[in-house]
Structure 1
Amino acid sequence: MAGPGAPQRYRRIQALVAARLAQQVLQVWRELMNPAKVDASWPAVRAALMPLVRQAREQSAILAESSYLDARQEAGVDDDDFTPKGPLPLLVERLESSLDVTGPVEFKKAIAAGKTPQQAMDAAAVRLVGSTQYLALEGGRQVMQRSIDTDDQATGWARVTDADPCAWCAMLASRGPVYKSAQTAGDPRKGGDRYHDHCGCQAWPAFTNDEPFIGIAEQLYDDWLRETRGRGGKHAVNAFRRWWESEGRAAYTAPERP
């Protein structure tokens, strides 16, 4: 896994975990959910979804643990008995609440907004896939972040995006390597460890103070400086977002190389 292309390979493998989960979630939703009897059919749907999310979360965490150790070894700092930190437990209440809100509640909201039952099913499916993927990939993301925070050899991390990030993720990735000792006060791009539903980003550990930028991050850094020149705070964020949505994003959507 380690090597120059390791961060992107790691991100793509995590994306496969998310894609597989999406297929499973959609299959359960379409086969067990009855739009004519939402409240009656939902308990069976939720019961089928919960182990799928937990299994994918465990897979994501295992991938992160092995990849973190590979990155350490590649950096030449595997000379101690450091063990990556596991993810925080996924509480039953949190999982159930997330499924409820993005499943039947979303379906009923769509119906109330005038959608047909099929349109409501589709709208809820999108929300449900996004929320389940978030909880699953959180397993690996927490392993990376908690390990970086507690590893004396780690200097920080970089945010690795896919080839088509949203404006928010592109902005965060433009910071490049984020060092644990870095001062973020006044930088509107702080909070680089935040993610959202349908987010394809991952964190990758850094072990030196001169880490190279990963993927499109270096170009994004130049774009950030150019588009936000003379602006600060939310004005800088809004300027970058406007540029990204009007013309910037199109420059970064070329197919990724294997």
Structure 2
Amino acid sequence: MARSGTAEQHQVAQAGLAAATGPLVLAAWAHLLDLHDLKGSVPRLAAALRSILAQYGRASASAGLTYYRNERRAAGVTGRVHLSLPPLPSNAEVTAAVEHVISPLYGAPDAQAERDARDALASEVEQMVLDQSRQAVMSAAEADREAKGWARVTEPGACSFCRLLATRGAVYGTKVSADFRAHTKQPNGSGGTCRCHVEPVFGHYEPTAQARMDLAEYKRLTDEFGKSGRAIHIAWRQHVEGRPVTGPLRKLA
């Protein structure tokens, strides 16, 4: 099945929803987090984030279901299917996210540590918003007997791990096979938000141009470094990142 225009439209819309949460999270951080009472600040900040997620997360999930219906229709699939919204992140999950990002701030943090923690929290909320659409589409594909599964679609700047997963095509059939948090932004400033998307598949899957190029390059590298082991992972990272990666590179004899 060739990729429809709705896939690109959905990706753009999801990016807009995620980006819209950033200023709201920063405002909540500025007004509700007390650096002199971090533990006491957590419930207030978590409550504000849940309100943001209730609005933007639900919008993300609803858009995901609309996207799923459009893709189903574009594939010529008829008949009704029951679609449902995924649960929003629980109070415990949101609280744990807040506690994780502010953990480096106990003691005497510097200004950079505070900026990194704040940015990590904004990234975490973006991730939770994007997860709503992903979960909606994955659950729909899992429940729909007409669906073959779903594929991972990357955006520009995706990490080597995500790009490798995307080369597998429409092999994913359950939410258990998903991992969109391999590089969640950390309080120390490392990592970043995964912006991959879930594309439902109802027939023959047409990979993106990026996925086709990545698959060809990965196959070339496996001819040099083998299909398993540390060397092929390092070679693949060096290809994607365009820089040397620490570790041995032993070509096949």
TM-score (norm 1): 0.80
Following the alignment from structure 1 to structure 2, what is the Cα–Cα distance between the partners of residues 56 and 172? Answer: 27
Which amino acid counterpart does residue 29 of structure 1 have in structure 2? W
Shift of 1:51: 1.1
The alignment-based identity, stated in percent, is 25
Following the alignment from structure 1 to structure 2, what is the Cα–Cα distance between the partners of residues 179 and 138? Answer: 16
Alignment of 1:105-184 (within 5 A): 105-108=103-106, 115-116=109-110, 118-178=111-171, 180=173
Contact 2:150/2:171, CA 8 A, preserved across alignment: yes
Contact 1:58/1:139, CA 8 A, preserved across alignment: yes
Contact 2:57/2:88, CA 8 A, preserved across alignment: no
Q: 1:3 to 1:225 in 2, by over 3 A?
A: closer
Shift of 1:179: 5.7
Following the alignment from structure 1 to structure 2, what is the Cα–Cα distance between the partners of residues 94 and 21? Answer: 18
Shift of 1:247: 5.4
Which amino acid counterpart does residue 90 of structure 1 have in structure 2? P
Shift of 1:144: 0.9
Q: Tell me the equivalent position of 1:207.
A: 202
Shift of 1:157: 1.7
Following the alignment from structure 1 to structure 2, what is the Cα–Cα distance between the partners of residues 234 and 222? Answer: 19
Contact 1:176/1:218, CA 8 A, preserved across alignment: no
Alignment of 1:13-32 (within 5 A): 13-32=13-32
Which amino acid counterpart does residue 12 of structure 1 have in structure 2? V
Shift of 1:86: 2.5
**Does the residue aligned with 1:152 lie in a helix, a strand or coil?**
coil
Q: CA RMSD in A?
A: 2.5
Contact 2:6/2:70, CA 8 A, preserved across alignment: no
Q: For structure 1, which runs of at least 5 residues remain unmatched after alignment?
A: 182-190, 249-258
Q: Does 1:193 align with 2:178?
A: yes
Q: Tell me the equivalent position of 2:220.
A: 226
Following the alignment from structure 1 to structure 2, what is the Cα–Cα distance between the partners of residues 193 and 40? Answer: 35
Question: CA offsets, 1:84-123, max 9 Å, x none?
Answer: 2421453222222122212x32423xx56xx51x222201
Q: For structure 2, which runs of at least 5 residues remain unmatched after alignment?
A: 185-192, 245-253
TM-score (norm 2): 0.81
Q: Tell me the equivalent position of 1:75.
A: 75
Deviates more, 1:118-127 or 1:32-41: 32-41
Question: CA offsets, 1:192-225, max 9 Å, x none?
Answer: 62102311101101111x2211251111111211
Q: Tell me the equivalent position of 1:7.
A: 7
**Does the residue aligned with 2:242 lie in a helix, a strand or coil?**
helix
Task: Report how many aligned residue pairs link the two structures.
Answer: 230
Alignment of 1:35-114 (within 5 A): 35-77=35-77, 79-102=78-101, 104-108=102-106
Contact 1:160/1:201, CA 8 A, preserved across alignment: yes
Following the alignment from structure 1 to structure 2, what is the Cα–Cα distance between the partners of residues 157 and 179? Answer: 5
Following the alignment from structure 1 to structure 2, what is the Cα–Cα distance between the partners of residues 234 and 132? Answer: 35
**Does the residue aligned with 1:157 lie in a helix, a strand or coil?**
strand
